[in-house]
Structure 1
Amino acid sequence: MPGNFQNNVNYCKFYFIFADINHAIMKTVLSIFLSAISFVGISQNLTDSLLLYYPMNGNCLDSSGNGFDAVVVNADLTTDHNGNANKAYHFNGIDQYIDWPNDTLLHPDLPVTIAFWVKYDVNDYLMSFLFDTDYAENNYSGIHVNLDPGMRISFAFGDASGSTAPSARRSKTGTTVIQTGIWYHIIGVIRGATDMDIYVDCINDGGTYSGTGGNMEYTGSPGSLGRVDTDVNPGPPHYFEGSLDDFRYYNRDFSSSDIEKLCPFNSIFETSIDKINSYPNPTMDYLSLDNIDDDVKQIDIVDIFGNIVMSYSIETSLNVSGLQPGIFFLRLIDANGSIKATSTFVKL
């Protein structure tokens, strides 16, 4: 009896210690979950401050409700980012473009958010000038987007001072090297000269600032898709060669939760691509992965703000002990930069 009694006492001690540990874990998980719910909830409707929206579903009519239908000049309908025929526009890099109306509402002050799908045909930054919200000859004004010589996405605004030199603009250039023949979802949030965010496929792309221009100004010209005039000499503008789809233009800042709402199939919370098993979940130090495809070359850990916080070469056991407690997302990337599989885990 004394032996059995002692065993029962030890069992009870173990049970209550185990229960206390589980209770602490559940409190931590609940706290993390409630924080994430709070984060997701602080956002606006995607129609708030939407200036114009071109889904490009067989035409370039404005779906924002503001009536800013565009005029298509030679651009051809093409297959969109979902594989649907005649649901996007292709530009030949020679003489094709789309102009939207010249209205003061489309010349807003900062902040501005612009989102779109794009696919580049050629590895030539001189044929990457995608759009200008104030198309003026030989004059940086409004906001324009292009690739830099390293094929990285760049958002810029001009001060309308009559120049196309760096002294007339403010720019931010991302870090992702854009590949030809691949659809990318791009979001640019422009708040000020050194306060911009670029998202490539829903991931904050970081980047560097350049230019010494003044505040953003306009010349009173209409915006144009498919061309930007950055040449100080008389001559044709730079035309875009590639495809454009689902173009949105907002007169407001976007929070991280707004970005998440706008993110397409490969968002950080939901995805239609493959899932991968990760365990234990929640975890405090190591996370194990099962059945990694042979074509996966990199594993990224992404936080709820869309930032890559860790990257690994191919490993089946990841050391995550250095992460702060929270909800994180795994992305398994192939050699082409495409997401092959995802998973979600909680770090205690």
Structure 2
Amino acid sequence: MKNIFFILLFFSATAFTQVNLSKGLKAYYPFTGNANDASGNKNNPSFNNATLTKDRFGNANSAYHFNGINNYIQIPNSPSLNFANQITLAVWVRPTGFYYDICHANSIISKGTADYYPGNYALRYDDALFTDGKGCSGDLLKDSLHLNFRGTGTTQKTYTPYIKKNQWYSVIYTNDGTTARLYVDCELKYTVNFKETFTNKDDLFFGRTNDSFFPFWTNADIDDIRIYDRAVNEKEIVALCKEALKKDTIKPITLTKEIPLEKRNNQLVKQIAVEHDSISVTLYDNGDIDGDSVTLIYNDKIITTHQRLSDKPITFTLKVEPGQSRNELVMYAENLGSIPPNTALMIIYDGKKRYELNISSTKNSNGVVAFTLKE
């Protein structure tokens, strides 16, 4: 019966919000066994003494641990790391300790010497909001219970909940040229007017700053750093920050009677060679949430039906057979929603490796994704 899976870039005469996590991506560090840049811009480290560790999914050698003493990653300055007036910094971080020197900041991402000079950009966590900016008064950190994440443009008011050690957080900072925003675990924590450029001659650092007097060493596990030359939109923020939230995995259903499905053409969207025989697939509506409903078919077997697409993840696991076996995932549109066609954003995890697809299905054709297992 059909072939593969779905997600879509949906075109319409009316503009709408799309999810495209590759657009404007200037540096991407998935930390899959190394610290190389996966964006294609070759922003690879010149120095790295951090230690590979488990990521938020429990995968070994898929994140880096920084010891808060002397671990850091340094990436040479390049034109692709300098931006006009827009930026997004996105990261997954698990604080495992706090910096106790005369300034109490912990630097996750930093580009530019000296704190917040024009053209610099940074993402960190500290007690500056709780102490009304007195974290650099010269006293060592005494209170580690009231730390917040902050970006280059920041509010002056503290927010809750405060950071807890040994917990993974999604932290996303955006600036659209006028307004800076910070999101923690999908929740908007602050909005502040902040007009700035993000261009300087300094190297990019993870785990510390490029300031020997205020190095702001970070004691944490860090993963999936993304740097964009634009402010990602709200749907893209959801796609980034919900990846590790606990999801209900749908299980193949046992049908008591046959579900009548129209015979339609299968349109192959992509064929992917995977390294693991078990892969995770997550599905969202792409664009406006307009009532799209789908049936999913894997190797001619219906695995779920009447699934309404939304900004909430639909997640399931697929077994990929070796050799010449068919491994085809089909998205069958039960309707076209209020804005045709039926569209979806699919995120696939093959171990640590991540794929994003945009797929559509119509009353005449099914979106299909095929998988082969690497030998």
TM-score scaled by structure 2? 0.52
Q: Post-superposition shift, 1:265? A: 3.4
CA-to-partner distance for each residue in 1:175-218, whole Å, 9 max, x for gaps?
4311000011111112246x1222211x32333659xx973354
Determine if contact 2:36/2:43 at 8 Å carries over to the other structure. Answer: yes
Q: Which residue of 2 aligns with 1:223?
A: 204
What SS is found at the alignment partner of 1:115? strand
Is residue 109 of structure 1 aligned with residue 84 of structure 2? yes
Deviation for aligned residue 1:129: 1.6
Structure-2 separation of matches of 1:78 and 1:273 = 26
Quick check: 2:181–2:191 contact (8 Å CA) kept in 1? no
Structure-to-structure mapping, 1:234-273, within 5 angstroms: 235=213, 237-265=215-243, 271-272=247-248
1:156, 1:172 → 2: CA distance? 15
Q: CA-to-partner distance for each residue in 1:2-43, whole Å, 9 max, x for gaps?
A: xxxxxxxxxxxxxxxxxxxxxxxxxxxxxxxxxxxx999621
Which position in structure 2 is the counterpart of 1:188?
Answer: 173
- For residue 64 of structure 2, what is the aligned residue in structure 1? 89
Alignment match of 1:151 (pick from 142, 147, 172): 147
- CA distance in structure 2 between the partners assigned to 1:173 and 1:131 by the alignment: 21
How far apart are 1:97 and its partner, in Å?
0.8
Q: Which has the higher contact order (CA 8 A, sep 6+)?
A: 2
In structure 2, distance between residues paired with 1:328 and 1:57:
27
1:262 partner amino acid: L
CA distance in 2, matches of 1:99, 1:144: 14
SS in 1 for 2:239: helix
Moved more, 59-68 or 139-148: 139-148
CA distance in 2, matches of 1:186, 1:129: 13
Match of 1:49 in 2: 24
Letter of the structure 1 residue corresponding to residue 26 of structure 2: L
Output the amino acid matched with 2:78. D
State the AA in 1 paired with 2:91: F
Query: Could you tell me whether the CA contact under 8 Å between 1:91 and 1:242 is conserved in 2?
Result: yes
Change (3 A) 1:261 1:96: same
Contact 1:154 1:174 in 2 (8 A): no
Amino acid at match of 2:35: C
| In structure 1, C-alpha distance between the alignment counterparts of 2:195 and 2:170, rounded to whole Å | 29
The alignment partner of 1:239 has SS state of: coil
Is the counterpart of residue 136 in structure 1 residue 117 in structure 2?
A: no
**Distance in 2 separating the partners of 1:172 and 1:56:** 33
C-alpha distance in 1 between matches for 2:172 and 2:180:
11
The 1:84/1:136 distance shift into structure 2, 3 A limit, reads same
The alpha carbon displacement at 1:138 in A equals 5.9
- The amino acid of 2:113's aligned partner reads A
Partner of 1:235: helix, strand, or coil?
Answer: coil
Aligned to 1:246, the other structure's residue is in SS state strand
Q: How does 1:1-348 map to 2 (within 5 A)?
A: 42-124=17-99, 126=104, 128-132=106-110, 134-137=111-114, 140=117, 141-149=119-127, 150-156=146-152, 175-192=160-177, 195-201=179-185, 203-207=186-190, 209=192, 215-216=196-197, 218-228=199-209, 235=213, 237-265=215-243, 271-272=247-248
The 10-residue stretch of structure 1 (244-253 or 115-124) with the greater mean CA deviation from structure 2: 115-124
Residue in 2 that maps onto 1:345: none
Query: Kindly tell me: are residues 103 and 128 of structure 1, through their superposed partners in 2, closer, same or farther at Cα, counting changes over 3 Å?
Result: same
Count residues in correspondence.
Answer: 225
Change (3 A) 1:113 1:88: same
Aligned partners of 1:139, 1:239: CA distance in 2, in Å? Answer: 17
- 1:204 and 1:188 map into 2 onto residues whose CA distance is 11
State how far apart, in whole Å, the 1-side matches of 2:197 and 2:16 are: 32
User: Aligned residues: percent identity?
Assistant: 29
Contact 1:53–1:248 (8 Å) recurs in 2 = yes
Structure 1 CA distance for aligned equivalents of residues 198 and 91 of structure 2: 23
What is the CA distance between 1:272 and its match in structure 2?
3.4
Structure (1 or 2) with the larger CA radius of gyration: 1
Deviation string, structure 1 residues 96-147 (Cα, Å, up to 9, x no partner): 1111221122110221111110011124572522121x23146634211222
Could you tell me which runs of 5 or more consecutive residues in structure 1 were left unpaired when the two chains were aligned: 1-37, 158-168, 275-326, 330-348
Distance 1:181 1:95, change over 3 A: same
Q: Secondary structure at the match of 2:236?
A: helix
Runs of 4+ in 1 over 6 A off after TM superposition: 169-173
Greater mean deviation of Cα atoms: 138-147 or 78-87:
138-147
Gaps of 5+ in 2: 1-11, 128-145, 251-309, 313-375
After superposition, the CA RMSD in angstroms is 3.7
